[in-house]
Structure 1
């Protein structure tokens, strides 16, 4: 009898469950609509459809969706990115492996054109992209007499992983090819200590290109990846496939709840991808003996002590900058150098909890390198200034903002950070040139 009563109540139970489920879905959709609006500043159902996966709201910094290794050996530069015509709208990886709208060397076609060369690593490369898109530095330079009517062209000679003396070598190479430059901005410092430190730990000459970038190429050339590195590589490939599939699903979402849940899923995949990349870097085999290696890399007999290593890194950095300045000053081309801000060098900046989760990683080898290396770089400022280097200490560039500016636990900035940093660079250069002009008038 009791069983019969329960059976009679089943339709009512199902009805209540269906109503609750419908309410849950409605509230989930409403919450997702609000979340989407806060994140994208537009209503989900009237949103602009995007074709570029990088515009879907997922932090894809450092994720190579198409290839695991985009670098290619270069006989003079160490490595470059593989040329590609479809890097992103308005940009390509050009004929020399640099991210730019133009192939190099670029010749002036008008007398009023003013070419600015940007040198450095990935932070400098991102700065170059941001400048091409937003023209922050030209807005500052147009305030100077004689530059108001100039057509400013930004050329990036920067690539992720570059460190001195690569900037120096690349500058000289393109000057030999006849590349015209009216100003050079070199943004560096982090790679010189963080990546050179990895070189030292692997007994590789500090002035050689980053072992983090060269070693995968040499290991592939010599077929010498370890079993653990191969397994990490397989996981990276599998995760990357899932990320691509997730991004495609995200583009097809018809409901805000679908977008929210898929975004969380894909971002979690991206986080796993980054962990596997770190694991891959850690598990790679040591470089083979030079006699067995088709790529010759200068080696040290032993790992240098931190004090000796970071002093040598700082000297390499300073001397390279001095030589860049000397070769440019022979043609009256102003040279500006910026020590880039990094989260691991402590300033007065207060990090919010959300940014701390993004910007800091206890397992990264970069933290120690920056904490020891940046003071070593700063100790070279007096000598650089003595050699008439226009150098700006940008480590406090973010101190006055409470906004999140970092997108990863390495060194890179989001759009808000890019804007602050670009304005810092532009304002610093303008103030220097204005003071220099005022001094010239007094003479």
Structure 2
């Protein structure tokens, strides 16, 4: 009887081991297929990269690390990000709080270098990161004989949430601090209408920084955050610590099944992180009014202005600040190029696939109204800018003929394909303006 029971146990263990082995094989095969579909390469022979984009996970807007709020109040710029490391290889939050490989002021180490300053919000910041990694502008410049040997040093002065007059103020400040530029790029338009609309709703002057970015910081400074908001900040801190550890372990996976399971876990952490940010937005206290004690001063409005009045003021101010940036650059012999950014909520001839619609469009978007009302008014000012000799380029339709998805979220940001198209448009526009000829003519020589 004992021998029979022992035989059954051995057979059961054998069957269990076989089933587990088969389960592992099927899981590994499925994971290999999952990885190949996503990355178009075989997992075991993949080219390993430290670039977070190659993980197949959208980490835009996520700063991996322990702190819950990484922005800091700045006495001149409104807010910046705290200097420290970044998860993108070669990048850091530098001594001024900008995402870049360099500290500022940057001084040329060779006469062959061209210093290009980029100003704007998160789209401009993402453009800078893409440019540093892919050198699109430098490659296009090399097609022109007088620029073929130049090394472009791209310096970012852009942070998510920036809108005029922050670009204008930062340009003047950095020039006063001795930063030299050979060329300046300003990318804006979206934040000026979408985020300024939030200013109006909160009865803040439109020229004040974005309330979505500044109010959490002023709440901390005033010690006026609710207990729920503070608890949410701690959850965000925990999210980011877990994300940092998980991304590091994900890159060390030796098996496709390990990679598949951990990538799903990382995506869950990113989702929780973003949900906590939204929860924090709901929980934080309303800004203090002028009759309450606060260590932060804002210019306020007596009431919410009618859309027709408000957006006209925003459009006039946007045009004025860009003209001033051009004048400052011209006075310092620096070519200035202004790009009006494309956005999914401004209707062009682009046809969205059903898959891209799910990523790019949201009926609950807090930005759609500002774009639909504000964009046509900004576009009307483009002729005024050109009349003032501003090199301004209307990029709203550059994605119309691109079949692949180009948007990375339902706000305003682009995926890798969108960044590629946008970067090429910027590079070609600059070179054609500098040379006075279409790029095709130049490349024939």
Task: Answer yes or no: same fold by TM over 0.5.
Answer: yes
Matched residue, 1:406: 407
Distance change (3 Å), C-alpha of 1:253 and 1:293 = same
| 1:147 corresponds to | 147
**CA positional deviation for 1:204:** 0.9
Hey, what's the Cα distance between the residues in 1 that align with 2:418 and 2:98?
Answer: 22
User: Displacement of 1:18 after TM fit?
Assistant: 6.5
Relative to structure 2, which stretch is displaced further, 179-188 or 51-60? Answer: 51-60
Distance 2:146 2:249 in 1: 52
Distance 1:238-1:146 versus aligned 2 partners, 3 A rule: closer
Identify which range, 357-366 or 48-57, moves more after superposition.
Answer: 48-57
1:389 alignment counterpart: 390
In 2: Cα distance, 1:375 partner to 1:168 partner = 23
What residue number does 2:126 align with?
126
The answer (yes or no) to whether the contact 2:119–2:185 under 8 Å persists in 1 is yes
Task: Give 1:78-117 correspondences, 5 Å limit.
Answer: 78-85=78-85, 88-117=88-117
**Aligned partners of 1:61 and 1:408 also within 8 Å:** no
CA distance in 1, matches of 2:84, 2:273: 23
Matched with 2:161 is 161
Q: Deviations over 1:347-393 (max 9, x none)?
A: 11122222222222332201222122211211211211111111111
Aligned residues: 434
Aligned to 1:259: 259
Moved more, 258-267 or 163-172: 258-267
1:342 Cα deviation after fit: 1.2
Q: Mean Cα displacement is larger for which, 105-114 or 227-236?
A: 227-236
Alignment of 1:362-441 (within 5 A): 362-435=363-436
Aligned to 2:42: 43
Structure 1 residues not aligned, in runs of 5+ = 1-7, 439-443
5+ residue gaps, structure 2, are: 1-6, 440-445
Aligned mates of 2:225, 2:75 — CA distance in 1: 23
- Secondary structure at the residue paired with 2:225? coil
Q: Is the 8 A contact 2:52 2:88 kept in 1?
A: no
Distance (Å, rounded) in 1 between the aligned partners of 2:402 and 2:437: 29
Specify whether residues 104 and 272 from structure 1 end up closer, same or farther in structure 2 by C-alpha distance, changes over 3 A only.
same
Q: Is the 8 A contact 1:91 1:101 kept in 2?
A: yes
User: For the Cα contact (< 8 Å) 1:121–1:160, is it kept in 2?
Assistant: yes
Structure 1 residue 303: Cα displacement: 1.1
Give the TM-score of the pair, scaled to structure 1. Answer: 0.89
Q: Deviation at 1:87? A: 5.6
Aligned equivalents of 2:353, 2:337: Cα separation in 1: 32
Query: Which one is further off, 84-93 or 221-230?
Result: 84-93
For residues 149-181 of structure 1, give each alpha carbon's deviation from its aligned partner in whole angstroms, at most 9, with x where no partner exists: 323221111111111011111111111222211
CA contact (8 A) 2:68 2:234 kept: no
- Conserved in 2, the CA contact under 8 Å of 1:87 and 1:93? no
